[in-house]
Amino acid sequence: MGVASVLIGAAVVTALLTVSLGVGDQVGQEFTKYGADLMLQPQSNTIQIGLPGVSIGSVTEQRYINESDLWMIRTIEHRANVLGFAPFLYQVVTVGDGPNAQQAVLAGTYFNKTIQIPQPASSQDPSEFSTGIADISSWWKVTGNWITNQNDTTSAMVGSNVAQKLNLTVGDSFKVSYAGTQNSTTATMQNGTTATMQNGTTATNVKELKVAGIVESGGAEDNQIFVNLPVAQDLSSRPGKVDTVQVSALCVRCPVADMASEIQGKIPGVQGTTITQLTNAEMSTLDKYQSMMALVTAVALLASTMGIFTTMTANVTERWREIGLMKSIGAENRSIASLFLAEAALTGLIGGIGGFGVGIVLAQFIGLRVFSTTIPLRWEVLAVAIPIAIGVSLLASALPVRRATAVEPAIVLRGE
């Protein structure tokens, strides 16, 4: 019963710590899973027109972010929290020829690009930064391969819906053509940004691409084709231009709003939007969950203490005569106390180890049910759970042990 009491306490402690530590890490990743923490767009690229109260439509003056400014994202005050970013340049392209031709959105981006930082914010900062969609969208399910070479101009990663529609599999080649004047379609991007095709280009650019991997994200990405940024820039003749930049922050309570305004201050003509609502919802889930778990832990440890206290008291009462005997044949109080404290410590150790095992399982259950994620095993939790289990056992045994040392050796002769 003593072991069971400790086991329950240790299990809850283990579950709490494992989930807190694991989810702490995981939540950062969870956030990126829902998309970037920050979205950078060119400032005010749409102006509403019309009579007062009557909207006629909008005039869109296409603006861009300069690719050459992106390094400045890594020079903001919270630069250490920038997990990564990826620029996007969108265009609607025609895939294939003749009657089978289909239209699709082609996005130029960084997969895994090393950018130079000409003026680091501090002399300790590195002058290079490796980033790209592989860092911020690591949850993508990719059949085939990621594009890893930043100079690869012939490979593409194709969204699963596009691949299905065009009947493309890994290794297939396909042609994309971009004709500026023929195409006045406005593509609505995943973030709601409207990218209107540039007018005035009459030439049709054609590019042959090979499917490196098929992307399944469950989101807008499934309807897009991804290529290295220069490929997209060439195809639509917009060298050095970027429509949007997605920025991921690596931290649990990121000051994303500060980061947004810091980036706005660094890069002229850029507007930063945070994905705050989502972030806050996740945060409050974790916070609520942690306070609840802390409460459960306190109650469980209290219950453990009472359980051990009861067990040890019963143990001392049951062995009253044995204690008297030991004292009568020469045991000092110290020996009696050591005997019972050693038993308590052993109970704590066994209960602690068992509780750790149960706690790991409990943590997985909570992880899957509450956060829909598995939680990695954290061995350092064992180093906390065992001392807590032993500590609780010893603490709860203090009074029973005092009772044991108070047993009078004379009871052995009373013939009771």
Partner 1 sequence: MDEALISLEKVTKVYGGGTRALNEVTLSFEKDEWTTIMGPSGSGKTTLLNIIACLDLPTSGIVRIDGKEVTGVGQAALTRLRRENVGLIFQQYHLVPYLTALENVMLAQYYHGSLDETKAADALKNVGLEHRLDHPPAHLSGGEQQRVCIARALVNEPAILLADEPTGNLDQTNGNLVLQLIRRLHEEGRAIVLVTHNPDIAGFGARTIRMVDGSVEQDSKIRSGVDGSVERFTNPIRLVDGRVEQDSKIRRRQKW
Main-chain phi, psi angles of 248, to 5 degrees: -105, 135
In the complex, what is the shortest distance from the CB of residue 335 to partner 1, in angstroms, rounded to a whole number? 6
Residue 326 within binding range of partner 1, rule CB under 8 A: yes
Residues 308, 399: contact at Cβ < 8 Å? Answer: no
Q: Figure out which of the listed residues 116, 330, 369, 383 binds partner 1, where binding follows CB under 8 A.
A: 330
Which range in 114-122, 161-169, 259-267, 316-324 contacts partner 1 by CB under 8 A?
316-324
Cβ proximity of 104 and 229 under 8 Å: no
Q: Is 408 in the site for partner 1 (CB under 8 A)?
A: yes
311 lines the binding site for partner 1 (CB under 8 A)? no
Q: Which of these segments, 110-118, 247-255, 292-300, 326-334, binds partner 1 (CB under 8 A)? A: 326-334
At residue 19, φ and ψ (nearest 5 deg) are -65, -45
Q: What is the crossing angle of helices 333-370 and 276-318, to 10°?
A: 150
DSSP secondary structure letter of residue 121 = S
- State which residue, 220 or 331, has the beta carbon closest to partner 1: 331
**What DSSP designation does 414 have?**
S
| Interatomic CA distance for residues 306 and 93, integer angstroms | 71
Q: Which is nearer to partner 1, 244 or 347 (CB)?
A: 347
How far apart are CB 413 and partner 1 at their closest, in Å?
5
Stretch that binds partner 1, among 20-28, 106-114, 225-233, 317-325 (CB under 8 A): 317-325
Binding flag, residue 413, partner 1 (CB under 8 A): yes
52 binds partner 1 (CB under 8 A): no
Residue 186 burial (CB < 10 Å; 0-12/13-18/19+)? exposed
Q: Rule CB under 8 A: is residue 380 a binding residue for partner 1?
A: no
Instruction: Return the beta strands (E) in 160-302 as ranges.
Output: 173-179, 186-188, 194-196, 204-216, 224-228, 241-242, 244-249, 270-274
Q: Is residue 321 near partner 1 by the rule CB under 8 A?
A: yes
Q: Does 332 bind partner 1 (CB under 8 A)?
A: yes
Per DSSP, the three-state class of 15 is: helix
Q: Left (φ > 0), alpha (ψ -120 to 50) or beta: where does 127 sit?
A: alpha
Question: Is residue 370 involved in binding partner 1 (CB under 8 A)?
Answer: no
Please, what is the minimum distance in Å from the beta carbon of residue 345 to partner 1?
19
Q: Tell me the window of 42-50, 142-150, 327-335, 362-370 that interacts with partner 1 (CB under 8 A).
A: 327-335
Helix axes 379-405 and 333-370, enclosed angle (nearest 10): 150
Length of the chain: 416
414 binds partner 1 per the rule CB under 8 A: yes
Residues that bind partner 1 (CB under 8 A): 321-322, 324-333, 335, 408-410, 412-415
